[in-house]
Chain A
Amino acid sequence: MDSKIQNKYYPMTETAFYLLLALSSERHGYGAMQHIEVITGGRLKIGPGTVYGTLSKMEKDGLIQVMNEYERRKTYKQTLLGKELLSLEIERLEELVRNGRKEKEQRDE
């Protein structure tokens, strides 16, 4: 894996994480925005300027690829590299949660 690209997405911003996660299935930008809003219970509404910029960057870096285009909407899906980087980030987040919980349990005892 290109270490420069890996460093850029490790740790990942919340925006990049959720967009990449949403693109586990083929979706267009707006579809990804809606999906993210739903799975976060309305907490995370990513603005279109941020979505457009992040998708262009992730496409250039090879994390996602264009699958289709209809009515000026491009659909994207994560690539193998994207999937790998997402797994790395999930592992990192799991570690955060694990350590956070352990600390809390010790405090509560």
Chain B
Amino acid sequence: MSKKTVFKPWFGWDVAHIETYLESMALKGWQLEKVSFAMMLFRFTSGASQKLSFQVDFRPQANLEYQRLFKDDGWEHINSSAGWVMWAKPYQDHRPHIFTDNQSLLERNRRLIFIIILALLTQFPAVILSLTDSLFDQITTGLILFLFFYGLCIGFLIFGLLRLWRANSNLRQS
């Protein structure tokens, strides 16, 4: 029995990417054994081929009723991390989905948009404080490095926000 560990980063505005990847792995007989590192590190063991639908939800306040409902419908809980919840369900012909209308997909994206906006808003006090502070009196390499990565993180959040907005406007039109 062989094992392999794959690092596979994915983004909240394109969950289909990781869903199809995991499904294709299961079909090739790679059974998912462990998920870690913010749902980006996947450990597989080789076994029988399985037809599994993987689905990702963003639900920071998932309660026990939520879990119960999915389990009653035959979904197996794969992992939860930072608001993300991953489910899988075996199937034969029609691939099952956890969301069956555009409205609920819109709402999943909105929950994520809300968290991103919150994260961006909390940056304001830090930015204002650092501008009024004497932080910028001496420009050091450390400071430049810090600002570079800080800018990268903020840019990433804004990029995600734009992608989600675009995804939602497409959903509203379809």
The answer to whether A binds B is: yes
Set B67, B72, B103, B108: member contacting A13, Cβ < 8 A: B103
Interface of A is mostly: helix
Within 8 A of B (CB), among A1-50: 13-15, 29-30, 33, 45-50
Residues of B within 8 A of A14 (CB): 101
CA distance A72 to B100 in the complex (A): 23
B133: CB under 8 A from chain A? Answer: no
A109: CB under 8 A from chain B? Answer: no
Please give the number of chain B residues whose Cβ is less than 8 angstroms from any Cβ of chain A in the complex. Answer: 22
Give the residue name and chain of the A residue nearest to B57 (CB): A49
Give the residue name and chain of the A residue nearest to B64 (CB): A72
CA distance A55 to B19 in the complex (A): 26
Residues of B within 8 A of A33 (CB): 73
Whether A53 contacts B104 in the complex (CB less than 8 A), given A71-B68, A72-B64, comes out as: yes
Report whether A48 and B75 are in contact in the complex, using a CB–CB cutoff of 8 Å: yes
Residues of B within 8 A of A51 (CB): 69
Cβ proximity bits A56-95 to B, threshold 8 Å, 1 near / 0 not: 0000000000000001111000000000000000000000
Report whether B98 and A47 are in contact in the complex, using a CB–CB cutoff of 8 Å: yes
Give the residue name and chain of the B residue nearest to A69 (CB): B65
Known: A30-B72, A45-B100, A53-B104. 11 other contacts (CB 8 A): A13-B101, A15-B101, A15-B103, A29-B65, A29-B72, A47-B73, A47-B99, A50-B99, A50-B101, A52-B66, A73-B72
